[in-house]
Amino acid sequence: MKALSPRKSAEFIVQNAMDVTVDPVGICNVADHVQDCFSQGTVSKDSWRKHPLHPKALDNSTAQWIFLVDALNFCFWSQNCQEKCEIEFDGKRHTGYWSLCAAVNRAIQEGIPLLDAQFCRDISHEQVEHIFRSCTPVPFPLLEERHRILRECGQVLCTDKVEGGRGPATVLETLCFSLPRVMAENSPTAS
């Protein structure tokens, strides 16, 4: 399978999706809103790094963190809209995307080697449940899928096709250049 750029991927999805439609007016509204946020300074290139749950260093561990969070960044809705999964980290409770960041940071702080490809390849469901444990009765959504994705990413990253099997971002260029191609070519769900 050939890896497509984000733009080409979006074009393919818009042209071939049967159950989902893309509202061009909605896209323009979102684009205008984002542009306004940049113009007003509420969003900037630096605002991502300024958030307390995002890494601050510009190093390999940050690249690994981004790769991991990006792979797991989907669907945070609970079955009951009134109740939410919450992850407690550093004395604060987080929901949605921030709960993912908090769970990853908490695991790293607890000494769980979540940024290690071999660990992810071999991670058990029980370990995933522990990492994504909620401080409310509502569990973290789609743990089975996240477990599968963690193992799949670990498996692909441990192959000799990515930096000699040493895992994600042993050099930052791996994530930028070879990893998208390797993931597209070797992911079991890509075929």
User: With the C-alpha atoms ordered 4, 74, 186, 17, is the resulting torsion angle positive or negative?
Assistant: negative
Task: Quote the pTM value.
Answer: 0.75
Contact assessment for residue 145 and residue 139, using Cβ atoms and an 8 Å cutoff: no
> Please, which contacts does 160-169 make with residues 24 or more away whose CB atoms are closer than 8 Å?
161/185, 161/186, 166/117, 167/64, 167/116, 167/117, 167/118, 168/63, 168/64, 168/67, 168/68, 168/115, 168/117, 169/60, 169/61, 169/63, 169/64, 169/67
List per-residue pLDDT tens for the chain, 191 residues long: 567 788 888 888 888 888 878 788 998 999 999 999 889 988 887 887 888 999 988 788 888 899 899 999 999 987 777 889 999 999 999 999 999 999 999 999 999 999 998 999 999 999 999 999 999 999 999 999 999 999 998 888 787 555 444 444 454 555 555 555 655 665 555 54
